[in-house]
Structure 1
Amino acid sequence: MRSLRSGFSLASALTGLATLGALLAGATAPARAADAPLRDLAAAKGKIIGSAVNPAKLTGTYGDIAGREFNSVTPDNAMKWESVEPSRGTFNWAPADQVVAFATAHGQQVRGHTLVWHSQNPGWLANGTWTPAQLSTVLQDHITAEVGRYKGRIAAWDVVNEAFNEDGTYRSSIWSNGLGQDYIANALTWARAADPGAKLYINDYNVEGVNAKSTALYNLVRSLKERGVPIDGVGLQAHLILGQVPSSLQQNIQRFADLGVDVAITELDVRMQLPSTAAKLTQQAADYKAVMDACVAVSRCTGVTVWGFTDSDSWVPDVFDGYGAATPYDESFTPKPAYRALAGSLGGGTTEPPGDGCTAVYSVVNQWNSGFTGQVRISCSGGALSSWRAGWTFGAGQRITQSWNANCTQSGTAVTCSNASYNGTVPDGSSVTFGFNGSWSGSNPVPVVTLS
């Protein structure tokens, strides 16, 4: 997590490095991943557990977790209009195809996101001058092309995204201004024609509890059902603030379900004001659990999708100044208490796994002009490990060039090291050490290691 990065500059002094490890506090191991992946726990309850994913990152540790833990994936941006149709009639399917291929290879569903939105539209569309007839044709052509391309491969589409203002009035957009409110019914109808088997949703934010905005959405869905317009579900985005899960969440899910539609939590994250603390992470875990509990309690709630599973991939810090740490995994891909809370809500074990008494300490043992040798010592006292993985985030562009006694990989600033075949077992009262060479420039701050 961003808040767990620790600064300790060595640029001005190279002496005393042998004792540096004694100056650094170890990082107590957090909850490790559940014994069963989240997707297995969710499937046992007939639910979806999904994540938004970046197609460019679906390799290495990121891809491993995305494939192992989730039974559904949503492209973060790859299916939005500006990505798919950057110029009229010219399509770029490659990133979206990557996500669909990944899902197919990993036995996952795909949630298509999104066909009709006021944002992230290409310039030719947003800045064009259109008659209602022309704009209607443009919209129908786009929906037909995109939904048709993935016919039979997309479980559900967020057809219309964010149609309402906070007070329940319709949002001013190219669609509502140019076509009137029936753009929603038309978009759903065209999507159904392009793929009769896909579930069709309307998706919005700040509609998780009973309020003016969610009531407007409720009234729209009821009207569409009465008119015979194809509508299968409602997506509640759930971009939440720490400690602010609406008390009426389950009631709200149920009232939509009572209309005869499915409900999905489509973009869950719980942001906190940085720095992160143990108390905030505990509250965050309770918030994640409250959302999943509400979904599990309503049979027509299909499941929960998190909007990115790792803090290194979260949109929150770029949009909400001073906030972050919003997802179930930290930036080093270590599961946070929120992960275990999701597992517990889905019926997984809630007790901490063996190894809770184990810590990891990072130290620099030698340093020269452009390089350094580092080591991590994993020690157990009151716990034990049968296998281990240590992770950290470099704060100044350092790169690992070689490692020993561990299998180390680096993706951007995030480093993950797992045990070798001969040193995975760390009994109570024992320790193991692994080392690495790396490069640095300017400064070499010491990170905090998380152990899983």
Structure 2
Amino acid sequence: MKLLSRGTIVVITIMLLTGFFLATPSLKEVFEEDFLIGAAINNRQVDGEDKQAVALVKEHFNTITPENMLKWERVHPKPNAYNFQPVDNYVALGKENDMFIIGHTLVWHQQTPSWVFEDEKGNPASKDTLLNRMQQHIATVAGRYQDKIDGWDVANEALNEDGSLRQTKWSAIIGEDYLSRAFTFAHDAAPNAELYYNDYNLWKPSKREGAIRIVKKLKEKGIRIDGIGMQGHYSLTSPPIDEIEASILAFSRLGIKVMVTELDIDVLPRPGNQGADLNESFGENAEYNPYPNGLPDAVQKQLAKRYTELFALFHKHREKISRVTFWGVADHHSWLNNWPVRGRTNYPLLFGRDFQPKPAFEAVIRQGKEG
């Protein structure tokens, strides 16, 4: 038998002492006693083409959300045409890996085809026509995945920043009760699934109060709502941790589940406001793309610090939070590469473009172990 050289023995000893041979901790296992840990996934991942991303999803996450495939324009692009194959694959991936499966989203003013709101002549549809289309869409889509999809974002981003109801074609044609109708239709189609309201900037006091009003109005009417999804589209410095905490506490007092959804951290400067309003979009601009060749160490440390603060808060309120979902798997999957400024190189997630964990990942793991 060939003996190892002294040098080889020294190298192996160092590797063992530094934990080189230890497997990367799994996010879902570290937070198993706290809350579900999820990721939004795309078509290439559910089709199995992006094998490295799928491996990360299976290893680290126990809940998944579809990034785009269940939005109206993708799943129901024409009046009598549905595209269910990507969603079928998505649901199959979740079921095969015993994941909590989210449906995103049934009613939204964005990414909904124009025909939904129009008659055959291109004029605004009548209230009855639009209600009928909403009901049929929800019955068909949510009904198809009854007892397969575990929770639905029934309504998405229905509030203005001041907490008032956003003026959209839904509210203009149907009226303010379009939300109550959407939740009623969703309950009828998927009575065993959880039903949520999902929005960004819910850390703002005014918008927080608007979401509280939505929940209270639905409950006063006897309409079921099971939770609020607080979209976590944050930056390195905003929003303040205490405002996020205030919303977690306020929503939990309503007797519903609180979820952190769509979590990512924009590390780049941006024009416009904090949030996720798709109407705020800008062309390519080098001023807002300062790190095209890699994130400087100093910014990596800032990102890790920010995730540390967030997960310290989430762990503190683990009895109130049911789920934390990242909006993407690895940095190159993130929508923040193209929004609000197109063509940027952004670094908002825990895994880099090489699919390797970043310092931010290690920071999150520490919070789970030490929190």
CA distance in 1, matches of 2:303, 2:117: 38
Task: Please point out which of 102, 110, 113 is paired with 1:122.
Answer: 113
Aligned to 1:220: 214
Aligned to 2:37: 49
Aligned to 2:307: 288
CA distance in 2, matches of 1:292, 1:303: 12
| Cα gap change, 1:33 to 1:97, in 2 (>3 Å) | farther
Structure with the largest fraction of strand: 1
Contact 1:253 1:295 in 2 (8 A): no
Aligned to 1:133: 128
Larger radius of gyration: 1
* SS of aligned partner of 2:267: strand
Contact 1:200 1:233 in 2 (8 A): yes
**Gaps (5+ residues) in structure 2?**
1-19, 269-289
Task: Please point out which of 289, 297, 300 is paired with 1:278.
Answer: 297
Q: TM-score, normalised by structure 2?
A: 0.81
- The residue type paired with residue 334 of structure 1 is Q
* Shift, 1:339, TM fit: 1.3
* SS of aligned partner of 2:38: strand
* Shift, 1:252, TM fit: 1.2
CA distance in 2, matches of 1:345, 1:126: 47
Aligned to 1:20: none
* Shift, 1:111, TM fit: 0.9
* SS of aligned partner of 1:147: helix
Aligned to 1:254: 249
Query: What are the equivalent positions in structure 2 for 1:343-358 lying under 5 Å apart?
Result: 343-347=365-369
Aligned to 1:195: 190
Contact 1:33 1:335 in 2 (8 A): no
Q: Which has the higher contact order (CA 8 A, sep 6+)?
A: 1
* CA deviation vs aligned residue, 1:310-347 (integer Å, no higher than 9, x gap): 11111002113356111111111011112122222222
- The residue type paired with residue 337 of structure 2 is P
Query: What are the equivalent positions in structure 2 for 1:78-89 lying under 5 Å apart?
Result: 78-89=69-80
1:106 and 2:124 are equivalent in the alignment: no
* Shift, 1:89, TM fit: 2.7
Contact 1:292 1:304 in 2 (8 A): no
* SS of aligned partner of 1:221: helix
* Shift, 1:242, TM fit: 1.3
* Shift, 1:126, TM fit: 4.5
| Cα gap change, 1:33 to 1:182, in 2 (>3 Å) | farther
* Shift, 1:226, TM fit: 2.5
Aligned to 1:330: 352
* SS of aligned partner of 1:50: strand
CA distance in 2, matches of 1:330, 1:320: 20
- The residue type paired with residue 66 of structure 2 is P
Aligned to 1:358: none
Stretch moving more, 76-85 or 281-290 = 281-290
Aligned to 1:36: 25
Contact 2:53 2:329 in 1 (8 A): no
* Shift, 1:33, TM fit: 9.2
- The residue type paired with residue 237 of structure 1 is Q
* Shift, 1:34, TM fit: 6.6
User: How many residues end up aligned between the 2 structures?
Assistant: 318
| Cα gap change, 1:334 to 1:33, in 2 (>3 Å) | farther
The percent of aligned pairs where both chains have the same amino acid is: 34
* CA deviation vs aligned residue, 1:334-369 (integer Å, no higher than 9, x gap): 111121222222227x9xxxxxxxxxxxxxxxxxxx
CA distance in 1, matches of 2:170, 2:22: 44
Task: Please point out which of 63, 68, 73 is paired with 1:72.
Answer: 63
Task: Please point out which of 319, 324, 330 is paired with 2:339.
Answer: 319
